[in-house]
Every structure is written in C-alpha cells, then in structure tokens.
Amino acid sequence: MVKAGTAGGVGVAIDAPQAPPSAWQRLWRVFEILTVFVGIGPPVGAVALAAVTTAYVLCFESHRVTDVIAGGAGMMGFGMVVSYVIGGIPAGMAGALVGIKQIYFGGASRRFALAIGVLSGFWVVAYNGKLPLTGDTWKAVAVFCVVTTSATFVCWRIVRFWYLHGPSDSRGAR
C-alpha cells in the first residue's frame, strides 16, 4: 500500500500496481492448481462412485437395504485407496486444463469446469477400452461422467478465485 495523500487529515491508501507474474510464476501457479485436483479429486470421485452405485442398486435391483449400504460403505473405503490409481491421470488432466485457463486466460468458469469433468469421464471410459459405445457402455459413460464431473466441480470450487487480480478476471469464475 502506498500513501497517496490526505483527505481531511486522514491518510488515503491505494494499491500500488503490481508487475505481472513471470513465466515461471505462472507455471508454478498452474502446478499448484493441478496438485489440488490430483490430491482431492480422486477421493471425491471415490465417494461419488460409491454414492452413485449404491443409489443405482437401491433403485433398480432387489437387495436388502442394509446389505446395499454396507456394500457402499465398503466400496467407499476400498475406493479411497484405489482412487488414485484410477483417477489420478484424469484428475491431473482436468487440473492442468483448469489451471491453464485460470492463470493464462483469466478465470475458469463453471461451464468450463463442468465440461472438463464430462470430458474426463469420457476419457476414463475410452482409456479402459470401452469404445465404440454400445448399450451397456453408456451406463459406464454416465457413471464416470457423474463421478469425474463431481470431483472436478469440487476442486474447481476450491481454486476458482486463486490468482485473480482484477474485476475483469473475477467475472470468469462464477
């Protein structure tokens, strides 16, 4: 803060203009956003996968409710460990894309984050060799799109205002 002058005997402070970040600082900022996605995204995806699977079994299959809930809880516990193996690469790709948009282009919007989440779901299905899409594959696409979109959205909510400096930047992070 720089003291600009006095107004009625009271000092008025204004912000001094800041130099734009260097190329290394921008890369580091993208890396910081990427680490949030890689660190938080896979466990959030595991919880979402357990919730979606449990809801599907409760709604469309005939099992005892206690068995289904116990299975969902077990799946969530096991999923926390395995989530980094399955979800690490999609989370890293989503984090890199959101970070690049955030740092170099002035804020990643909600629509952008949701689109990246859906594309990550398609990527998981394609990576696991489920293309071309058939009748049963569409269920996997729907499940993984919900899982990756929820994880991407949670991580985006954490980083959406990081490194935004002006009113023109903050409009993109709604």
- Residue 118 in any domain: the answer is yes
- Maximum pairwise Cα distance, the chain: 77
Query: What pLDDT, on the 0 to 100 scale, is given for residue 34?
Result: 94
- Phi, psi dihedrals of residue 13, rounded to the nearest 5°: -105, 140
Query: What pLDDT, on the 0 to 100 scale, is given for residue 15?
Result: 61
* pLDDT above 70 (res 3): no
Residue 42 identity (one-letter amino acid)? P
Query: What pLDDT, on the 0 to 100 scale, is given for residue 169?
Result: 45
Q: Are 153 and 114 in contact (CB under 8 A)?
A: yes
- Residue 12 in any domain: the answer is no
- Residue 32 in any domain: the answer is yes
Query: What pLDDT, on the 0 to 100 scale, is given for residue 139?
Result: 75
Closest residue by Cα to residue 27 from 120, 94, 129, 96: 96
Cis peptide preceding 132, ω within 30 of 0: yes
CA distance 137 to 132: 8
- Residue 86 in any domain: the answer is yes
Higher pLDDT, 99 or 4: 99
- Residue 57 in any domain: the answer is yes
- Residue 10 in any domain: the answer is no
- Domain limits at 133? 22-170
Higher pLDDT, 128 or 173: 128
Query: What pLDDT, on the 0 to 100 scale, is given for residue 132?
Result: 64
- Residue 155 in any domain: the answer is yes
Count of structural domains within the chain: 1
CB neighbours (10 Å) of residue 115?
A: 14
- Residue 81 in any domain: the answer is yes
End-to-end CA distance of the chain: 28
Lowest mean pLDDT among 45-49, 64-68, 81-85, 127-131: 127-131
* pLDDT above 60 (res 168): no
